Amino acid sequence: MDSTNKVNSSSSEGLLLRMGLNDNKAGMQGLDKERINKIIMEATKGSRFYENELKKDQQVNQRIEKLLKVKEKINSQQLMKAQLQVDRLAVELEQSRDLSCSIVHIDMDAFYAAVEMRDNPELREKPIAVGSMSMLSTSNYYARRFGVRAAMPGFIAKKLCPHLTIVPLNFEKYGEVSKQVREVLAEYDPNCMPMGLDEAYLNITKYLEKRQNWPEDKRRYSIKTDNTTINGKQDIIAPVDLKLSDEIHSSSPILFEDDSSLAQEQTPSLLPDEEQRDKQSVTEIKSVVFGTSAEEVVKEIRFRIEQKTGLTASAGIAPNTMLAKMCSDQNKPNGQYSLPPERKAVMDFMKDLPIRKIPGIGKVTEKMLKALGIETCTELYQQRAMLSLLFSETSWHNFLDISLGLGSTHLERDGERKSMSTERTFYEISAEEEQYTLCQELCRDLAQDLQKEGLKGRTVTLKLKNVRFEVKTRAFTVFSAVSTEKELFAVAKDLLRTEIENVAPHPLRLRLMGVRVSGFLNEEERKYQQSSIVSFLQPGKQTSDSSLSPRKLYQEHFTKPSETFQRESFFNKKRAAKQQQNQKTFVNGPTNEQNLQDINSSVILIEEIKEAFDSKNADDFQILICPVCFEEQKNSTLEAFNRHIDKCLNGTLNKDNAEMPNNNSQESVHNVFSDKELCQKNKMNKLVDTAQSTNIADNSASISTKAFPKVVVMNNHSMEGKQSLPSDSACNMNIEQNYSPTIISLGNGENFEMTKCMQDTPSAYSPGPREYKVLVCPVCNLEQKTTDLVLFNRHVDVCLNKGIIQELTEEKVSPVGSHITENSKNVGNLDKGHNCTNSTTGTKRPGLMISQSSSKKIKPSNSKCTIETFLK
DNA sequence: CGGATCGAC
DNA sequence: CTATGTCGATCCG
């Protein structure tokens, strides 16, 4: 019963506007909170959606439980130590506090709904929402009184408010209006940063300086009584007598039915028909002068927006973006709030603020913090030491920033796009063929979008949601970037097929499918991608001919579904020989030397591929044998084969975990494992029993696991896929997932637990003591002394990319410690002219996870390793 | 790298 | 009947 109330309970807080104000329609009062929740629950209870919500909620609850357990184990000494550290940082932050900026956040009121009302007088005075029966994007304030809100499905909204009018989305229109608004904003800050169609940040610091000396005339604006906007059907009446410091407020007849302004809606009694702007000649047109303060400027901005578009906006003024955003929320709709640039004012403002109001703190974080007794920013500050022990560094730094009222003071330019995707929700699709068709469609759409921006990416991600609302993503990274429909589909369909096979003979019952591309090439990589790889794969055939570009090769060998895999014969002979060795290795329990051989096998694999590229004959058919489970794997793609091996290895390694009881429905048991797969599993387990007796076995296995996929990357372009293997560790989305805690001890009393999905890809196992290994890079053939497989694999990557090895450059490895200044980028592709893609990156507040205390984090200490480092 | 999650609009 | 679409960030294995 506790949980029954949870759906949406948090969302309907101070939202019911003061009710009995002046309703223009007799008897339309709206609903009180309790009534709203009851109706929502009735409509929700028992639905598949609800079941999933409950499940998610329980997961959060489990996270909270673990959080609390960790908290209990913290002793006062640790706490004191943490306190010192945190406070040291706090002092530093305090010293760098910057109150010199005037940041403005502009937020259009009920944007989509307002646009629709503006353009259709019939909608005014009515409760409306924009969206569909399935999902609403926004609602007007009238409808909000009934509990109708953004992100609510229309059919529920209808139950809350039977008279609700639902208007379909019209993104093109919103885009146009948004553009108009931004034109105004740009005059105050050419660098202004739009966040979606209806919001923007401005830094008006410089503008304010300039404005100080402006004569009054430069700050005077005429008031149009005829507010001709886009479609000219405007009949907005501007305020009659507007003084400098008057709130422009009461002027909007459209938006706020519960506001007095509606009552005075005096539709065109006097429309000065002339288009001429001569202030003197038309008596009805008056003018207004705005002052030079930030507040006056923002009033001016809002005034001009309303004059230009007929829509109202709310605004916040503050020394940083976080505060500005919260300020704009303060007096909405159609109001503004200014926070003076003084420390005390800031702190007072934050003091009693519920944490949920903070941008970046959502439902989950709120709940977790509440579980720790934190509801306001003051409490957030008081608990700072504790938080630093419970959360990741990024998280608690963020919390500290928040509780000090700190935020970004400059608006960063949009960085480069990181991903592009498209997804669609539909009524259940279970037929395989339909699914493939859909997948292809998505790829086609995505390819188009990619082309518009001239982008190519290396990682393709397939997203699936089944009819039980369980979401799953599957990704694959190819060697050379892709962008066309064919290329995308080649990868996506493989991912899809794997998922289908994983649940076979049951169908995937989907309600959503999506495709995403990420891993776009930077300039450097673009060059290499074009030239060196080809020459590497085709030694002796130096060519810049685009017909031999990797993409072409990829298409030839991978895309065409019917094409048979050529030169398998050669490949497999070597492979088979290799497998003999591998088998021995695994059965006998590998030694260090054998370890080396194991790795060396990947050298051969690479060579095989090279040769395979050269040889043009030999198209006979061969059987691959998995070196782990010894099963014959017929005619799969190499990718699938390698994946199979990967899973075998993971599966074996997870044998212990696999014994966790699967207390799910019985159906799941035979759903997940086919007989054959079970058989494989048994074999694997036996193998591991012997192999795991030594530590080395673990490491060797882990090396193989990584080494094989390394090769896969290449296979993917060079080879073509026909049929993939049944996968052993099936992830059946139709089966409820089983979560169980894994407790990870870090020693020193600092330990934490995690939630792990047992039915999903098995993975985690303790790596055991770290010893360095000598590995041979399959590309450059040099021995690499390393403790870190990731590093080694990266080295191989670089080798592959450059063809020749000069230097192994490590990218990211962020410096540990101190300062977290918000330096991430925002991607708001607002002004794209085309398609409604309304992407916004809000404030980039880090999410929160339970952390291993930061001091325990194992981070690579070297940001750069040269080949010499690797050489013995 | 891949997968899951969170958060924003 | 009927619970979005797109994107970035973070964390973990």
By mean pLDDT, which of A371-375, A769-773, A841-845 is the weakest? A841-845
What pLDDT, on the 0 to 100 scale, is given for residue A637? 55
Answer yes or no: are the C-beta atoms of A477 and A713 closer than 8 Å: yes
- Long-range (24+ apart) CB contacts under 8 A made by A23-29 are A23/A257, A23/A258, A24/A125, A24/A257, A24/A262, A24/A263, A25/A125, A28/A127, A28/A142, A29/A145
Task: Give the pLDDT band of residue A264 (cuts 50, 70, 90).
Answer: very low
Answer yes or no: are the C-beta atoms of A511 and A469 closer than 8 Å: yes
Condensed to tens digits (0 to 9), the pLDDT of residues A465-495 reads 999 999 999 999 999 999 999 999 999 999 9
The answer to whether residue A631 scores a pLDDT higher than 50 is: yes
What pLDDT, on the 0 to 100 scale, is given for residue A466? 98
Task: Give the pLDDT band of residue A620 (cuts 50, 70, 90).
Answer: very low
Answer yes or no: are the C-beta atoms of A758 and A740 closer than 8 Å: yes
Chain C nucleotides covered by protein, CB below 7 Å: 1-13
Return residues with beta carbons within 7 A of strand B: A 56, 59-60, 63, 151, 195-199, 325, 358-366, 458-459, 461, 471-477, 519, 731, 757, 760-761, 797, 838, 840-843, 845, 847-848
The residues of A between 315 and 374 with beta carbon within 7 Å of nucleic strand C are none
Whose tokens are 């490491």? That residue is A699
Kind and range of the H or E run holding A478: strand A471-482
The residues of A between 432 and 491 with beta carbon within 7 Å of nucleic strand C are 449
Share of chain A above pLDDT 70, in %: 50
Task: Give the pLDDT band of residue A285 (cuts 50, 70, 90).
Answer: confident
**Highest mean pLDDT, choosing among A53-57, A618-622, A819-823:** A53-57
- Of A801 and A758, the one with more pLDDT: A801
The answer to whether residue A788 scores a pLDDT higher than 90 is: no
A418 touches strand C (CB under 7 A): yes
- Which nucleotide is the nearest neighbour of A394, by CA and C1'? C10
Q: What is the DSSP letter of A241?
A: S
Q: Which residue is nearest to nucleotide C7 (CA to C1')?
A: A839
Task: Give the pLDDT band of residue A777 (cuts 50, 70, 90).
Answer: low
What pLDDT, on the 0 to 100 scale, is given for residue A773? 55
Bridge partners of A129, per DSSP, are A139, A166
Task: Give pTM, 2 decimals.
Answer: 0.64
d(CA A388, CA A85): 9
- Which nucleotide is the nearest neighbour of A844, by CA and C1'? C9
3-state secondary structure of A480: strand
Which residues are CB-contacts of A281 (< 8 A; sequence separation ≥ 6)?
Answer: none
Answer yes or no: are the C-beta atoms of A182 and A304 closer than 8 Å: no
What pLDDT, on the 0 to 100 scale, is given for residue A525? 74
What pLDDT, on the 0 to 100 scale, is given for residue A784? 60
Peptide bond into A333 cis (omega under 30): yes
The answer to whether residue A751 scores a pLDDT higher than 70 is: no
What pLDDT, on the 0 to 100 scale, is given for residue A502? 96
- For chain A, the farthest-separated pair of C-alpha atoms sits apart, in whole angstroms, at 100
Condensed to tens digits (0 to 9), the pLDDT of residues A507-533 reads 999 999 999 999 999 877 777 666 654
Pairing mode, strands A457-466 and A471-482: antiparallel
CA of A160 to C1' of B9 (A): 24
**How much is the average pLDDT of A622-636?**
58
Structure tokens at A464: 């699936």
- Which nucleotide is the nearest neighbour of A794, by CA and C1'? B1
Task: Give the pLDDT band of residue A413 (cuts 50, 70, 90).
Answer: confident
What pLDDT, on the 0 to 100 scale, is given for residue A43? 97
Chain B nucleotides covered by protein, CB below 7 Å: 1-9
Q: Which residue is nearest to nucleotide B1 (CA to C1')?
A: A477
The answer to whether residue A579 scores a pLDDT higher than 60 is: no
Task: Give the pLDDT band of residue A175 (cuts 50, 70, 90).
Answer: very high
d(CA A93, CA A95): 5
Report the 3 state secondary structure along A298-321.
Answer: HHHHHHHHHHHHCCCEEEEEECCH
Answer yes or no: are the C-beta atoms of A79 and A389 closer than 8 Å: yes
3-state secondary structure of A131: strand
The residues of A between 12 and 31 with beta carbon within 7 Å of nucleic strand C are none
By mean pLDDT, which of A136-150, A291-305, A364-378, A552-566 is the weakest? A552-566
The answer to whether residue A871 scores a pLDDT higher than 90 is: no
In angstroms, the Cα distances linking A207 to A211, A214, A586 are: 6, 11, 71
The answer to whether residue A135 scores a pLDDT higher than 90 is: yes
CA of A42 to C1' of B5 (A): 28
Condensed to tens digits (0 to 9), the pLDDT of residues A83-130 reads 999 999 999 999 999 999 999 999 999 999 999 999 999 999 999 999
Beta strands in A334-418 (DSSP E): 336-338
Answer yes or no: are the C-beta atoms of A225 and A238 closer than 8 Å: yes
- Of A665 and A638, the one with more pLDDT: A638
Which residues are CB-contacts of A38 (< 8 A; sequence separation ≥ 6)?
Answer: none
What pLDDT, on the 0 to 100 scale, is given for residue A529? 63
Q: Which residue is nearest to nucleotide B5 (CA to C1')?
A: A847
In angstroms, the Cα distances linking A450 to A485, A520, A521, A814 are: 10, 10, 13, 30
**How much is the average pLDDT of A9-24?**
32
Q: Distance from first CA to last CA of chain A, Å, rounded?
A: 65
**Highest mean pLDDT, choosing among A193-207, A240-254, A578-592, A793-807:** A193-207
**How much is the average pLDDT of A640-650?**
57
d(CA A61, CA A55): 10
Condensed to tens digits (0 to 9), the pLDDT of residues A700-746 reads 333 333 332 322 223 333 333 333 333 333 333 332 333 232 222 22
Answer yes or no: are the C-beta atoms of A654 and A661 closer than 8 Å: no
- Of A541 and A53, the one with more pLDDT: A53
What pLDDT, on the 0 to 100 scale, is given for residue A625? 64
Task: Give the pLDDT band of residue A585 (cuts 50, 70, 90).
Answer: very low
Condensed to tens digits (0 to 9), the pLDDT of residues A377-390 reads 999 999 999 999 99
What pLDDT, on the 0 to 100 scale, is given for residue A164? 98
Phi, then psi, of A461 in degrees rounded to 5: -120, 130
- Long-range (24+ apart) CB contacts under 8 A made by A134-137 are A134/A425, A136/A166, A137/A112, A137/A169
**How much is the average pLDDT of A601-614?**
38
Q: CB count, 10 Å around CB of A442?
A: 24
What pLDDT, on the 0 to 100 scale, is given for residue A623? 57
- Of A62 and A523, the one with more pLDDT: A62
Q: Which residue is nearest to nucleotide C11 (CA to C1')?
A: A849
- Which amino acid appears at position A468 of this protein? R
Structure tokens at A592: 């260090």
What pLDDT, on the 0 to 100 scale, is given for residue A414? 81
The answer to whether residue A864 scores a pLDDT higher than 50 is: no
**Highest mean pLDDT, choosing among A230-244, A353-367, A743-757, A817-831:** A353-367
| CA dihedral over A787, A793, A794, A798, signed as positive or negative | positive
Task: Beginning with the edge strand found earlier in the chain, give each strand of the sheet holding A419-429 in spatial order.
Answer: A419-429, A510-520, A457-466, A471-482
What pLDDT, on the 0 to 100 scale, is given for residue A643? 60
CA of A722 to C1' of C5 (A): 32
The residues of A between 66 and 85 with beta carbon within 7 Å of nucleic strand C are none
Condensed to tens digits (0 to 9), the pLDDT of residues A219-259 reads 999 998 754 443 333 333 333 333 334 444 444 444 444 44
d(CA A633, CA A636): 7
The answer to whether residue A562 scores a pLDDT higher than 90 is: no
**How much is the average pLDDT of A850-862?**
33
Scanning A766-837, the segments in alpha helix (DSSP H) are 789-802
**Highest mean pLDDT, choosing among A7-11, A444-448, A585-589, A624-628:** A444-448
Q: Which residue is nearest to nucleotide C13 (CA to C1')?
A: A764
Interaxial angle between packed helices A695-718 and A592-614, expressed in degrees from 0 to 180 and rounded to the nearest 10 = 10
- Of A844 and A115, the one with more pLDDT: A115
What pLDDT, on the 0 to 100 scale, is given for residue A578? 36
By mean pLDDT, which of A241-255, A447-461, A564-578, A745-759 is the weakest? A745-759
By mean pLDDT, which of A112-126, A632-646, A793-807 is the weakest? A793-807
Q: CB count, 10 Å around CB of A772?
A: 10
Kind and range of the H or E run holding A128: strand A128-131
3-state secondary structure of A714: helix
Whose tokens are 């309907």? That residue is A12
Bridge partners of A136, per DSSP, are A131
